[in-house]
Structure formats: structure tokens, C-alpha cells
Structure 1
Amino acid sequence: MRKCSLLKTKRKVYSKDIPKILLLFFLFSALCFVTPLGAQNRQITGTVFDAVSEESLIGVSVAVKGTPRGTITDLNGQFAIDVPAGSILELSYIGYVKQEVAVGNQTYIRVSLQENTKLIDEVVVVGFGTQKKVNLTGSVGVATAKDIQDRPVIMAAQALQGIVPGLNISQNSGTLDSKPSIKIRGRGTLNNDQVSGNPLILIDGIEGDINAINPQDIENISVLKDAAASSIYGSKAPFGVILITTKKGKAGKTVVNYSNNFRVTSPILLPEFSDSYTFA
């Protein structure tokens, strides 16, 4: 009799737990079905461009944060990548600030990258190529296109006034065709002519006249101030060297920049000429 009662008790307990077991089973099945749906990838397309010029950037690295998945932009600055829901895209490009973009519910995104001016200023042009500014032992001054593009001047030498420390530029005459005198760390000779003591000027590696080029065509200017420049350029560089790099064509959209300057000079005071009677 005891054995039968125990069996009946077990059956009653089992019959009561059936609804709970079924409920857990359905919940587990629902979770297994929903989880793959949430983890499904979707394709995101977009365009990356420069924040200032709005030109498309080619070869920008686009990666999903925390994963090895990534791609690069094409010739039109466009990309396409499959990402999970809630992902964050990391965009990086040489010379630009790295940026992160949350995908969210978007299927198409436009990203503008800002130039990393600190990174650009660290690289200067020297006689044998380019180096980081922190690695140079000599004194070097740097001026970029952004430093001179807004100056209302007609000569490149005038655009450098007050930009590079130790570079002295003075105007010896008021005539329209007069060229300014350029000296690095003051006059280095006793000769009184304008040519002596001037630094060596190289335009894209070729000796030339700094005033013969358009200031708007200059990309970068490096000024080698100390006598160490003579070890690279020889006897022509005892008073320093000015290295000028001009702008070159780049892939992307066509950009047209126009600037025009007018200059008018007039004497401050004119002498009073006497007539013929008074002169006689």
C-alpha cells in the first residue's frame, strides 16, 4: 500500500510541473529563434570627403570597431560594408583626424574628415627629402599654404613677413618693380649691395627667384637657418636656404581658386616747382 501511494504522489507532482516545463521550452525556443535575427548583418554604404574642400577622399580605411572587418573607399570616395546592428565605424586617413560614426538605423552615411594640422606641421622639407621636425638638429622654420593664402600680396617674399622667426624681409624701395631684401638672422656680410648675404632659394629643388612664382602656388616653405645647410648645398648656402615646394595636381574633383590684387602707389609729398621767371 505504501508503494502505491508513493507512485501516485510522484505522478501528481509530475503532472503539476508539465505546464512549467512547456513554458520554459517555448521560451527557450523563442530565444534561440530571435537571437540569430538580431545578429544578422546589413549593408551600409557611404561617402567620405574633405571637410573644407568637400573633395572625395580615396583610400580611407573604414573598419567596424572591435572587429577585423573593414574596407576602403574607392575613386569616388564611396564604400560599402556589412555590419551588425548597433555597430560603430572607425574611419582613418593619413593626415586627417580619426573619426567614429555610430551606424544606428542608417543605411547610408556621409562622413567629413578634418585635416590633422598638428601632424602636418611635424613634417618639414630638407635638402635630402622630408623629416619629422622633432628629429631635426638644426634650426628650421616652416610656413604652409594656409599661412600665406589670405595675405593680400603680389610677391611670395612679402607673404613670408612675420611668419618665420628669424627671417627678415625689408623693402628697400617704393617702386612697383622693387624686390624685397631677404636675410636670415640679420645681415651676414659687410657688403652694402642687396645680393650679398641673401639665402639660397630652391623652388622644387631648382635654384630660382622667390618673387617669380605666384604666392597662391606655394604648398610649403622650409627655411634652413643655420650654417649646417652648407653641408648639404655647399658654398652657395652660407647664409641659409629657403626651400619652396609648389602645389601639384591631386586626384578628385576639380577645384578652381581665383584671387586678384590691385596695387596703387602715389607720392606723399610733391615739391613745388618754380616757374621759368623765378628759376632764372
Structure 2
Amino acid sequence: MAIASSSSSAGEDFSRFTARRIGSGTGRDRVRSVAWNLDGRRLATGGTDKSLRIFLPDKDVRSGTEYRGHTGEISVVRWNPTHPERLATVSSAAQDKGLRFWDLRQGSKPTSVIETNGMNITMTWSPDGRYLVVGNRSDDIMWIDADEQTVIRKTRMPKETNEAFFSHNSTLLTTLVFGDAQIVAFPSNEPVHSIPVANLPITVGDLDPRGRYMAFGSNDTTLSLWETQDFTCVATSGAHDDHVRTCRFSHDGAYLASSSSGQNIHIHNVPTLSEAHVLPVSGGAPADALAWHPTKNVLAYAGQDAWIWGAGV
């Protein structure tokens, strides 16, 4: 069934939205990551069954194409921001150290592999498509030049380090280091600013599509919104009862979706962070990953399985 288009998200009627499972289920295996590609035609998933799957939700949500190459569970899937058929994956398994690049036009195997330290749990791609930043459970951070297929920086961080994200022009990198959001110039690594967000580790962060706000979720259960001019906090939300697992802005920045270990996804209005909707996670498992469609108010999420939620899905 085709995904209905939304020309404006102002006053979106979420009550008309429905959820649909992607794929036919994988038994006891669990989906860990979901991601829409550049044009929104493809949805990629990865999880504990060690396979990358590519779906075409507008055509068929029941089956996808399987790609094999990992020896451990796939923890993060990210599409190249400049190409609709290229993507990268990493694994959280200690023995599966390879950052794998894929090109859907070149078969079902990775096109190249870059060795990392393993146990990878975060990955982000610069908007210009050239660089990736990968982080692992031991707080090792690697900067990778995707064009040259080389590692350009390795850093063992002194404190717990979680997600990172780039500015939209790829010249700034924000890394979540314990309770601070540390902003540096990229790739010179010159410090620009440090935002003291929380007294406990910040687990997740995102930059809104217009570059006006940054959102952070932390282990103190708080979700907060910060403006990017003076780096001041403009709103907070206590909707979650546990540490925030993920938060993602909608395609136009009007909404922010967030999840924790509870079985609800919260949709917040931006910039107030007031509650717009509460979405029960289908399948009864917490949502480990969220991804908004690049042009529509359609949300993909990973619970036990992968699901999409929107009008007409």
C-alpha cells in the first residue's frame, strides 16, 4: 500500500495513523536498527540475525532482500546521505570488527570492509557523504574517510561517550561525552563549544533539519531541546520513566519522537516538547531505534520486529 504524502505537519491528526509490520518476522531474533534511504523509497533493517534487509514499503512490506556479510549482530545501519543505493553497517559483537560498505547495484555482498575495534554501537555519516564516525562500548571513537577508505583519527575517550552527529554543512561534529555535548570543528578537531546538558550520561542526540535546535536524551530520563545560536535550553520533557534510548526529529522539524525502555514512543511538538501523541510499540518490546521518512510523517521503529507508522501505510 502506498504511503500517503503529507504536505504540512502542522496540526497533524495522529489518530488516523496506523502501524504495519515490515517483514514476516524472524522468530527470536530482534531488529536493532532501521533507516530510510535518501529518497525514502527503501527502508533498511539490521539486527541479531546478522543480516541486512532492504524493503520497498511502497510496494511490499512483507518481504525484503537479504544481504549477508556480518558474523555478529548488526547494531547500526546508515544510508549514504548523498546516494540512495549506498549504505554502511556495523556490529556490536566483539569478534565482528568490520565496518561494511554496501552498494545495492553491486550484488548482495559488501563492497568493502574497514577494520575497527569491534563492539560498535554508534555510527553517523556526514551530510556530504564523505566521513563516518563510529563509536564502541569501550568509548573508542574512529573518524573514517569513506572516499579514501581510511581511518583518519582514533581516540579513546576518557568518559562514557555515546552518539555523535554533524552539522548540516559537515563542518561541525557534536559528540556526547558523559553529560556534555562537545562541539568541534571537523575535521580539524578544534574545540568550538561544550554544552553541559545533564549530570548523568547523555545517551542520544539529534539536530533538527533546519539547524535551529538540538535534542538530547539522557540517563536521568530527561529529554531536552537546545537552540543552536546561544546554546541555551528552551524546553524539557519528563515523559519517560527510564533513560532515553533514542530521539529523532521529523523531516520538517515540527515533531520529535523519543523512546525509552518503556513500551511507548512519545511524539513531541517542537519547540515546546509538549505531547502530540503517544504511540504504543507494536509487539510489546521497547523501541531500540527510530527513523522518520525524509519527506513524510511516517515513522519507522525497531521493536522486536521493524514497523512503520503513518497515514495510509
**TM-score range normalised by the length of the shorter chain:** under 0.3
What is the TM-score normalised by the length of structure 2?
Answer: 0.21
With a CA cutoff of 8 Å and minimum separation of 6, indicate the structure with the bigger relative contact order. 2
Name whichever structure is richer in helix by fraction.
1
What is the TM-score normalised by the length of structure 1?
Answer: 0.23
Task: Look at both structures and tell me which one has the larger radius of gyration over its CA atoms.
Answer: 1
